[in-house]
Structure 1
């Protein structure tokens, strides 16, 4: 496998040309199921296994779980901002630096518990969104582009599958 395949085992996110209710419902379902799937993949891993990487110089399984908690908290807040403000500009964050903060030394179980609670609230919110809500947007300064909540649901459905693939890959390839 080359580095790009190791980085993106399911491929890079591709924005769908059109999004309908069935696609959104499926994406929300993937977001809803993510914490359970991560738990299934990590619950019987030893401390040594949690340090496996999905690629050389990539994050460990533990760091991937912590990253997902960080990323999904940020996404949840972006949804809330877009629902309450008129096209807010969100604050980006340097995810690689967040991965180095001391709280990433905690057991990934802590972040898994956070993901379970966060996803319960996030999915509840997502399932209540109207078509008008789904079309609300925020501005992501790094891309200088507007992102609709509908598109962000698609991005985070992909994000869940992307990092779940990283965990599976780390277990299989044992870097």
Structure 2
């Protein structure tokens, strides 16, 4: 098993079907509950476990998922309200050093639950035209919203697999 990419690397789909969107939105909607079930009774020692040498621990992964998905939600909303906007990137490893990464995971899990409820509702109600809207990274790479939904569904499952690996 590849410890860095336990579910494989993200492959950006070029063609997206309605059934794909529904499956990815379901993954986004259910991620907070799956994470909570997996982590709610963990000890400090278990939260400190890593999935590979020099990786983030379970504690950091949970906080990172929230940061990443907050950014994803905002990127999508900006794309829905502006024409092909250039979205902001962020330094994940620097964010992980900030004081809020010391809060109990319960705080991030609560935020993730609320965020994903709003996000899934928004995604379930996008039109075909809206799903084709794009945003652009500073390096020039473009992403359609339907592709971005795939990315964030993958991202949540990717880190969930890291946590499962760390706990084995």
TM-score range relative to shorter protein: over 0.9
Aligned twin of 2:164: 168
**Partner SS state of residue 143, structure 2:** strand
Superposition deviation, residue 18 in structure 1: 1.5
Does 2:127 correspond to 1:152?
A: no
Superposition deviation, residue 16 in structure 1: 2.2
Aligned twin of 2:35: 38
CA–CA separation in structure 2 for the residues paired with 1:100 and 1:108: 15
Superposition deviation, residue 141 in structure 1: 1.3
Q: Quick one: which of 57, 60, 64 aligns to 1:60?
A: 57
Task: Write out per-residue CA displacement over residues 61-108 of structure 1, whole angstroms, 9 at most, x where no aligned residue.
Answer: 010000000000000000100000011000000111111111001111
CA–CA separation in structure 2 for the residues paired with 1:8 and 1:30: 18
CA–CA separation in structure 2 for the residues paired with 1:166 and 1:34: 14
CA–CA separation in structure 2 for the residues paired with 1:88 and 1:168: 36
Does 2:52 correspond to 1:81?
A: no
**Partner SS state of residue 89, structure 2:** coil
CA–CA separation in structure 2 for the residues paired with 1:114 and 1:104: 13
TM-score (norm 2): 0.98
**Partner SS state of residue 6, structure 1:** coil
Task: Write out per-residue CA displacement over residues 95-133 of structure 1, whole angstroms, 9 at most, x where no aligned residue.
Answer: 111111110011111100000000010001001100000
**Partner SS state of residue 21, structure 2:** helix
Tell me how large the CA RMSD over aligned residues is: 0.8
Gaps of 5+ in 2: none
Aligned twin of 1:92: 89
| Count of residue pairs brought into register by the alignment | 168
Q: Quick one: which of 61, 66, 72 aligns to 2:69?
A: 72
**Partner SS state of residue 7, structure 1:** coil
